[in-house]
Structure formats: C-alpha cells, structure tokens
Amino acid sequence: MEKEKLELNDLADAILPWYYTHQRELPWRQDRDAYHIWVSEIMLQQTRVEAVKGYYNRFMEALPTVADLANASDARLSKLWEGLGYYSRVRNLHKAAQVIMEKHQGVFPKEYEEIIALPGIGPYTAGAVCSIAFNQKTPAVDGNVLRLWSRLTNDFRAVDQPAFRKDATAALKAIYPQNAGDFTQALMELGATVCGPDKAPDCGRCPCASFCKAHQLGTAQELPVRLPKKQRRIEYKTVFVLHAKDLYAISKRPAKGLLAGMWQFPNTDGFLSPTEAVDYLQKQNIRVENITKEVERTHIFTHIQWNMRCYYLDVGGVLPNLHWRTLEQIRSEEALPTAFRIFLPDEKQAPA
C-alpha cells in the first residue's frame, strides 16, 4: 500500500513535464479567465474538441463577457449553438450568467460551493473552473480522467458507477500539487490523447508507464470497464419540407422536452407513405401540388434514435399557422437543430 501511494504521488512529477511539452494548442487555453474556461467546459461535454473549436471562437467573438451572455436573446444563443447539440447546455449557460450578474455583481465567483450552485454546473465543471482559473486543488474528473485512473490503478470496477468516480476524486485530491490548474489539464490531456478513448492505449508514449498497474500487468486494453449501455428507444418521424413562393415552412417545438423551443420542419410521428403524407397535410389545410423528393435519414440522440422519412413538397400558398422563411433566413437567423438541418435543401437544389 505504501509503495502504491508513493507511486501515485509521483503522478504529478511524471505528467506535468509531459504536458508542458505535448499539450495541444486550444483556444480556451490562451488564458485562465473563469468565463472562458466555464464556457469551453460546457461546450466540451459529450462533444469532440475539434467540433468545439469553431463554436467556442464564434461564441466568444459574439459574447465576450458574462454580461453579454446574460443579456443575449434566446434566439441569438440558439443560433450560436446551432448544430452543437444538447441544447439544455446553452439554456443553463444563459441562466447561470444571469445569476452571476444578479448575485455576484457580474464577477465570476471563486468559491467551489458558489460555482456548483450555478445552473448547469456539476462537480466536474466546478472542479475544472476552480482548479484551472483559480489554482485550487479541486479535481475535475471526466470520462478521460476516469479511463486514465482505472488503468493507473488497474481497477476493474465500472467507471460509470458513482462509487468509482467518488474514490478517484478523493484519491486525486490527496495528491494534487501546488500548480493545480496545470495538473488538472495534464490529466485531461493524457486521458484524451495517449490514454484516449476508442483506441488502444499508447503505453510507449505514456509518462506513467513505469508505475501504471494496468501496463505492468498487461491489462490496459481491458480497461476501463463500463456498465452495459441501455438500448436506445427508436422513434419514427415523417418530416415535411414545404416550399411555396421561394419560402420554406418552419415551426417552433414545445417549450419543454427534447430540442425544447428550437425551430423544426413540420413533422409527425410514424412513417407515412406518399399518399398518407398528402392526406395528412390536406387535413392541416395544406394543399400539396407536387412531391419533389423523398429521403430517409437517421439521427441519434443519447437515448433516442429517430428514423426519419422526409418529403419535399411544393404547396399552394403560404399558410399563416406556419412560419415561412427563405433558405438564407433559415441559415443565418433561425436555429435549426441538426436533426432537421440535415434536410435543409441546398441552394442549387432548391426549386426555382
């Protein structure tokens, strides 16, 4: 046990020099501003780094301060977030920014308990902000760190069980060095790259190979262990891209539930045949003149899979119960989530 403790105490000495040499250049690592770190960590939840870079830069250009975020309209925020998914994240960012303005006079709080009390912030994000922005010894334990820790300790418990995360967090907190922010980022970086997901661990390049239990025992590729995934619920949707007078119909989704408050193309549950689709639309007082195209796509959420059949239709007249926009307006002004944006016609393919 004492030998194991000693080796884990060597973790900071091993990974910090590696991090200073091998860290990726990422836009949110240019400074230690709490606002920048907070926004980047929320964006990075369940989203690849490469996908986040462009969103982060556009978001910061549009909303450079907490006050700008707090004062932004829902429509503007949704458009800035369009395509990034998990839209509850940006709604919670907005709420948290407003709390910071109201309760903290616009200054991002420094205390862990105040940060974790903000909407949408859990232990991981609070730990990341406290350690990286304020150099506090608060571990930020995400999937990358859990994977790394399971291999370092050769722990075959499921990493997605709360007990494993709790134990890893406590063990890391006990060995945090003075330069806490760099240590947090080094753990994240090593877990995301050398000891990364969806590939064999690159033990030959790992600064921890000399004391990594899984490497020593030859079990690194068997870890981490995860609980069996729940099977996704499959739902069927028929989507209608309605075209009239160079305009396309969109509608607003309900204020609660999946993709709450986002724009969508009109749709209904189930797969409709062309005849059934025309009958359905006629019952909505929409006169179909022509079906120009039919496509099928699949969109996967975390726990739901949408199998989608889309009809492109020319219709007679612009109906007042729908919102009608040009393609350019939809692209530049309205937030259309990826589940529906995949059906947006190309300008070249749009009817004349």
Domain boundary among 184, 203, 222: 222
Residue 310 sits in a domain whose CATH number is 3.90.79.10
Q: Range of 297's domain? A: 233-341
Angle in degrees, CA 289, 343, 300, rounded to 5:
135
Is the distance from CB of 315 to CB of 281 less than 8 angstroms?
A: yes
Query: 217 and 238 share a domain?
Result: no
Query: 125 and 17 share a domain?
Result: yes
Q: How far is CA 320 from the centre of its chain?
A: 35
Residue 14 domain flag: yes
What is the number of structural domains in the chain? 2
- Select from 147, 235, 162, 233 the least CA-distant residue to 193: 147
Query: 287 and 314 share a domain?
Result: yes
Residue 209 sits in a domain whose CATH number is 1.10.340.30
41 carries an active-site annotation: yes
Query: 172 and 284 share a domain?
Result: no
Residue 123 domain flag: yes
Domain boundary among 168, 188, 222: 222
Query: 120 and 239 share a domain?
Result: no
Two tokens at 181?
Answer: 């922010």
Cα separation of 10 and 317, whole Å? 72
In this prediction, residue 347 carries a pLDDT of 54
Give me the average pLDDT of each 10-residue run along the chain (352 residues).
56 96 96 98 95 97 98 95 93 98 98 98 97 98 96 96 96 95 97 93 96 96 93 96 95 91 95 97 94 97 96 89 94 94 76 42
Residue 349 domain flag: no
Angle in degrees, CA 195, 201, 206, rounded to 5:
65
Query: 171 and 52 share a domain?
Result: yes
Query: 162 and 200 share a domain?
Result: yes
Catalytic residue among 7, 41, 189, 334, which?
A: 41
- Select from 44, 67, 71, 66 the least CA-distant residue to 55: 44
Residue 346 domain flag: no
In this prediction, residue 352 carries a pLDDT of 40
Residue 178 domain flag: yes
Q: Return phi, psi of residue 56, to 5°.
A: -60, -45
Query: 244 and 145 share a domain?
Result: no
Which residue's entry shows tokens 């862990």? 112
In this prediction, residue 126 carries a pLDDT of 98
Cα separation of 312 and 202, whole Å? 48
Q: How far is CA 331 from the centre of its chain?
A: 21
Task: Work out the widest C-alpha separation in the chain, in whole angstroms.
Answer: 79
Q: Return phi, psi of residue 323, to 5°.
A: -95, 130
Domain boundary among 158, 193, 222: 222
Residue 97 domain flag: yes
Residue 330 domain flag: yes
Cα separation of 59 and 43, whole Å? 10
Query: 214 and 237 share a domain?
Result: no
| E strand residue ranges, the chain | 233-244, 247-252, 263-264, 267-269, 288-300, 304-315, 323-325
Query: 268 and 153 share a domain?
Result: no
Query: 179 and 306 share a domain?
Result: no
Is the distance from CB of 147 to CB of 197 less than 8 angstroms?
A: yes
The 8-class DSSP code of residue 317 comes to S
In this prediction, residue 3 carries a pLDDT of 45
Q: Which residues contact 291 (CB under 8 A, 6 or more apart)?
A: 274, 277, 278, 311, 312, 313
Query: 253 and 116 share a domain?
Result: no
End-to-end CA distance of the chain: 75
